[in-house]
């Protein structure tokens, strides 16, 4: 499965000060998240963010706050139990019609119009073995295709991180990297934003 910019959504889970303080390569994680948010913005890929108990764990770094919409605040580790599903798959809306609905024939009355489905979820964040794992498993159960960005997903302990990624892969999640996501979104060097986005990638200069 290739990741499509037209069919995917980007989700940041709990990239917050207290979590970042305890993980390795935290600044590299933030830089990759920032890049993906910028690319998502120009390619019109929807972005959703969560914050776990921000009164205790703090907020996202300022660089991410400027790129992210208002985050979903949560206490439960799986964001799906706090409303993420409804954000990713909005409820059916009624199509507007002209005239008095009661006077119209039944076939002209308001009809339910489902929102366009974007079932590929590109997921990253902290910590891999808690919020990322539980949210990803719930998304898979809800029949989303889940791609976990491994170079922007961390746990404080490497053993927790490794176990989480192994479990996610076994459950059906795709394990991807930042560059995989970007180049699959672009799909071609002929894309009108290719040169601009490639410059952003090269400017990262991360190991």
Domain residue spans of the chain: 8-89+114-204
pTM flag (> 0.85): yes
Residue 42 — pLDDT band, cuts 50, 70, 90?
Answer: very high
Residue 91 — pLDDT band, cuts 50, 70, 90?
Answer: confident
Architecture field, domain 8-89+114-204: 3-Layer(aba) Sandwich (3.40)
Tokens 């991180």 found at = 161
Helix and strand numbers, DSSP H then E, in the chain: 9, 8
Nearest to 168 by CA among 144, 119, 142, 132: 132
Tell me what pLDDT residue 35 has: 97
Cα 109 from Cα 103, distance rounded (Å): 9
Judge whether residue 182 has pLDDT over 80. yes
């Amino acid at each position: 499965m290739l990741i499509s910019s037209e069919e995917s959504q980007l989700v940041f889970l709990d990239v917050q000060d207290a979590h970042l303080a305890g993980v390795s390569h935290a600044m590299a994680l933030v830089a990759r998240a920032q890049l993906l948010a910028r690319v998502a913005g120009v390619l019109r890929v929807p972005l959703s963010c969560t914050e776990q108990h921000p009164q205790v764990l703090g907020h996202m770094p300022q660089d991410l706050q400027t790129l992210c919409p208002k985050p979903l605040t949560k206490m439960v580790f799986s964001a799906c139990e706090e409303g993420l599903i409804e954000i990713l798959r909005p409820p059916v809306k009624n199509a507007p019609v002209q005239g008095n609905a009661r006077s119209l024939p039944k076939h002209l009355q308001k009809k339910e119009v489902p929102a366009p489905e974007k079932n590929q979820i590109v997921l990253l964040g902290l910590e891999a073995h808690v919020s990322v794992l539980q949210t990803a498993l719930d998304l898979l159960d809800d029949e989303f295709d889940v791609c976990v960005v491994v170079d922007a997903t961390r746990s404080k302990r490497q053993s927790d991180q490794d176990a989480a990624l192994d479990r996610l892969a076994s459950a059906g999640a795709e394990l991807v990297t930042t560059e995989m996501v970007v180049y699959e979104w672009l799909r071609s060097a002929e894309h009108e934003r290719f040169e601009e986005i490639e410059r952003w990638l090269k400017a990262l200069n991360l190991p």
